[in-house]
Amino acid sequence: VLLDGTEAVAALLVQQAAASTVSSESGPLAFPAARLDLASRQVMLAHRIFKERLLMIYANATNNTNATDGAWPSASIAAFETAQEHLKTGGAGLPPVILSREDILDQWDNVMAAWQVFKAAVDPGSSDVSLMSQSLATLSRQLEIALPLYAMPDEVLPPDYLWPILVYSAIAVFALATACSAICLLCCYRRKQLLETGAKL
């Protein structure tokens, strides 16, 4: 119940932030609310997996069939991994991470490394609660580090900003071609002078 309440509060905060914009040199940038929302839910989903695994361990230890339905939290695990993939390659309405956001891509790798350790700790063949708790703390920390990175809008050059680049590039190419033509004409003129001088001699 507490986890569900936390999710509701997080969703409300993200909705409020979605209406805001971030200023940059190229103009206002839309706040990446959907991306941040999904990233924040990953923290809560990791804790949900931990809780579900604890209930299974408790049920097995006490033979209490009412403690859990006995189902392995495969749905939660699959949801976490699917969301992680969307946070990198895009999907579910999210665009892929642009290559210039190396900060996000590097932290995504850190999250996945911590996730693999946590996933192994909550495996049905393991019941080490201490290891589960430690790996959850590490994963949560990596997920929390990623949140402010996902909250930063991607700096993308707008179409209006590309025109000066194209114009200056065209000018540079024209200047280079003009210089090459001038050099060729000068060489031809010098060669003609040398030939005329040799003919007079």
What would the pLDDT profile of 59-80 be if each residue is shown by its tens digit? 877 776 554 444 567 899 999 9
Domain encompassing residue 188: 157-201
Do 63 and 113 fall into the same domain?
A: yes
- Predicted TM-score of the model (pTM): 0.65
Do 109 and 70 sit in the same domain of this protein?
yes
Q: Under a CB-based contact definition with an 8 Å cutoff, are residues 28 and 66 in contact?
A: no
Residues 45, 13, single domain; the answer is: yes
10 and 81 co-located in one domain: yes
pLDDT in tens, 114-134: 999 999 999 988 889 999 999
User: What is the domain count for the chain?
Assistant: 2
Residue 197 pLDDT > 50, yes or no? yes
